[in-house]
Chain A
């Protein structure tokens, strides 16, 4: 077709498209649009670093400025993925160092990053501005020193909840004196003390600093020094929020907070001494995001503080808030959108706090904008879930963890199928669901029937048979990520829905009943899937074909089987499958 617009006009039009989905759609229109789009795409998001290779990415998108990569499967957060599994950023950094000299941003989640990688990053990209490492591991504070020292225009350094080997706090002093560009600094995961005076000077010379999340080692008494130098802060993560009770500390703190007119988000609060909570009263009404999930304060101090924050949109808190606190929250915080309640003592069978399903029901009743929930509790009922579903049809993320696996409705002792069924039926926009408690195949029937927008589903200790898995795979049209542990799901549903797996990012199944034979078959039949078996006990072929594999991770990919697998991960593909067959031929029992 004749060129209706010159290329640069099209490019200009495309520049208004930021969302990957829009850009992907545009690239499918015709070849020239594909080319214009790919040359002008600046940001890429790769949800599974093994779905594609750096070379393929670079070939298609030659001028990228921001890369976001995710590595390990989500269940790695809970130690279900053995150490050494993979997720190395190394090949990406090496390729990008050559191909993207103008790269500005790298965001990584659940990846293995080394000091050498950080050094390479710091030296390869002259305009490097943003480094975000969420739940990453493999590097030390020495690696951070490279970033601090060499990235002249660093705007954002966010270490998330990464596991950093903390050699010393000295790295912070590597920020040169003329570095004034910092906008966001999150070092909350670090254990050791950073040089406070270096931190103070850094904060003072960065007028655009909006986010500052300190680590536990920064003492409360010194917090005012930082706040005074950064009154423009929008998000603050305190260090340990404890000190001897002294009125001058209190008054310094209050005064410092008084000066923070822009403050909207608070977090940190390790070792909280409740007496110091009122020091923040002057900012409470501004606060929209509050993370008290490390704060061991209890009621009434806790609820008193939270109730001051009438404009709260997001609250993360420990179950010390109890039902009574959640009821107060429901009354005070009508703008609440997201609630996460974490267990203070997850390994105690009884629990010593009065946090039940009532609290969640109360919030669902009182907070009309509530759309995102993560809730740990010890009892649940179908009635409560039905109530929540009816109250909040606008729910989009619902993650419920009843601490005891397979716990039934505590009132009726029935499975919680009806309750979760109500959730998926009423909440038509539900994107993410995590379930717990006693659940039969029926709940999966409900999910398959109703959860048409569901993108991520997490299942544990649930279901009776393959039918359950089949319902999900055949019914959930939007499903992208499915993670399953300890469910009696086996071969049938998996093989019957093999093609579904190519429409998803990934499937994780651990401690289920998927046999080695089925994995081999799946790998053979579906060349565009990587079917990876994780067996720490030994090669999966040392048993008969019907022996279940320990863990299975299946994901779509155009990069073929990966080459960096450790000894306990096997990929099921054509070649490998036949290798296994040959290998077992010679074995007796």
Chain B
């Protein structure tokens, strides 16, 4: 699952609250130099334990994938607010102790992803802790090797920063245009497209649709887990409002079963306006041509090839199937 490179969208001071709460967390020099120090010495109005929350709340995490940083971290969506709040310090200590209190099932082996490159170990460490997702915290012990990296990690281009939602403040129309321009220019350099690529995601039967940024994922697997999290509340019928960890666990599995049990099918509309089954083409080709996504009821997806449900990372590049 995708995680931004920096633990904190600002790239600054997650460590400050970390350090306050536990000395066992190693704080590296974030790339953000002196500003870090300034932040640390600032007096802040805050309630006990709210520092953590402030950061959390400050990250603008959203259930439905608006937060780029959080795209893959929708496990967080399952965590009721109150557990976060009351357990503000507890969460940290749990993480440190590795108590696995937030031990959500890891979806298909998706791991902490470094996102857009940059100094890896400690940032990821911090991001696991600071990250809004209990999933990360649970995953941290033991840390899994990163399975998928974005191209940026390997390219010679300077590491792009983790993207804060809505920052810099540029309208979608302009962003999408820029992204197209840049990917055209950068094809030779092997730099993966920067910017964002918001597409709408609708689900049959859900009362409203969501927007996600395809650029924050680098594989079908990541996309699928993000979508599963995002829409699980609809299939089960309720948002994460009464969440207790046990129930969420159950809910996730229910959705996964639903999806793999072929009740829902993920489709997308391509540049030609045709509806296609997700997963047939290489990931980059998919992100280039995907205009919107739709989670369809399997029964509606007639004309699809016999395989229903979502199967990703198909090794064969078959002719894309039209829905």
Contacts and interface: CB of A to CB of B under 8 A. Distances in A.
A349 B159 contact: yes
A397 to B, nearest CB: 15
A566 B207 CA distance: 9
Interface stretch (A62-70, A97-105, A534-542): A534-542
A566 to B, nearest CB: 6
A347 B163 contact: yes
Contact of B82 (A408, A542, A550): A542
A511 B57 contact: yes
B166 A75 contact: yes
Contacts of A376: 168
Given A464-B43, A540-B81, A543-B80, A80 B165 contact: yes
A490 to B, nearest CB: 6
A537 B77 contact: yes
A75 B166 CA distance: 8
Contacts of B208: 83-84, 566
A376 B167 CA distance: 11
Interface string B220-251: 00000000000000000001111100000000
A562 B305 CA distance: 46
Most interface-central of B57, B85, B171, B182 (chain A CB within 10 A): B57
A513 interface: yes
B125 interface: no
A67 B235 CA distance: 41
Given A82-B62, A537-B77, A566-B208, A550 B57 contact: yes
B172 interface: yes
Given A406-B12, A485-B166, A548 B50 contact: yes
A348 B45 contact: no
Contacts of B58: 486, 511-512
B35 A539 contact: no
A548 B161 contact: no
A275 interface: no
A215 to B, nearest CB: 12
Contacts of A403: 168
B8 to A, nearest CB: 10
B281 interface: no
B38 interface: yes
Contacts of A543: 80-82, 84-86
A348 B243 contact: no
Interface stretch (B192-200, B257-265, B294-302, B311-319): B192-200
A42 interface: no
B64 interface: yes
A79 B211 contact: yes
A83 B209 contact: yes
B54 A347 contact: no
Interface string B21-45: 0000000000000110011001111
B206 to A, nearest CB: 10
Given A347-B195, A537-B240, A544 B82 contact: yes
Interface stretch (A24-32, A48-56, A198-206, A337-345): A337-345
A407 B210 CA distance: 32
A510 interface: yes
Contacts of B165: 78-80
A488 B45 contact: yes
B241 A542 contact: yes
Nearest to A81: B66
Given A83-B208, A543-B81, A346 B62 contact: no
B81 A343 contact: no
B170 to A, nearest CB: 6
Interface string A531-575: 000011111101110111110000000000000001110000000
B59 interface: yes
Contacts of A434: 169
A163 B178 contact: no
Given A538-B80, A566-B207, A161 B173 contact: yes
Interface in A456-484: 458, 460-461, 464-466
A167 B291 CA distance: 12
B44 A460 contact: no
Contact of B182 (A342, A345, A408, A544): A345
B210 A513 contact: no
Contacts of B34: 408, 413
B213 to A, nearest CB: 9
Contacts of B64: 82-83, 536
Contacts of B47: 546
A568 B65 CA distance: 14
A461 to B, nearest CB: 7
B81 A547 contact: yes
A21 B50 CA distance: 44
A203 to B, nearest CB: 24
B155 to A, nearest CB: 12
A63 B161 CA distance: 54
A587 B158 CA distance: 50
Contact of B211 (A83, A270, A405, A461): A83
A117 interface: no
Nearest to B56: A548
Contacts of B35: 406-408, 438
A50 to B, nearest CB: 18
A195 to B, nearest CB: 16
B61 interface: yes
Contacts of B273: 167
A230 B60 CA distance: 49
B61 A350 contact: no
Contacts of B194: 345, 347-348
Interface string A146-172: 000000000000000101000100000
Contacts of A458: 169
A368 B84 CA distance: 54
Contacts of B54: 488, 513, 548
Interface in A479-512: 485-486, 488, 490, 492, 510-512
A294 interface: yes
Given A344-B178, A349-B158, A438-B35, 19 more contacts: A77-B172, A79-B66, A79-B166, A80-B60, A80-B166, A83-B64, A83-B209, A344-B182, A345-B178, A346-B168, A350-B158, A408-B38, A488-B54, A536-B63, A537-B61, A542-B242, A547-B82, A549-B57, A587-B82
9 closest Cβ pairs, A-B complex: A78-B166, A84-B208, A543-B82, A543-B81, A536-B63, A161-B173, A548-B57, A543-B85, A511-B60
17 contacts: A75-B166, A77-B171, A78-B170, A80-B166, A293-B174, A294-B177, A406-B10, A406-B39, A440-B42, A488-B44, A510-B60, A513-B45, A536-B62, A537-B62, A540-B81, A544-B86, A589-B86
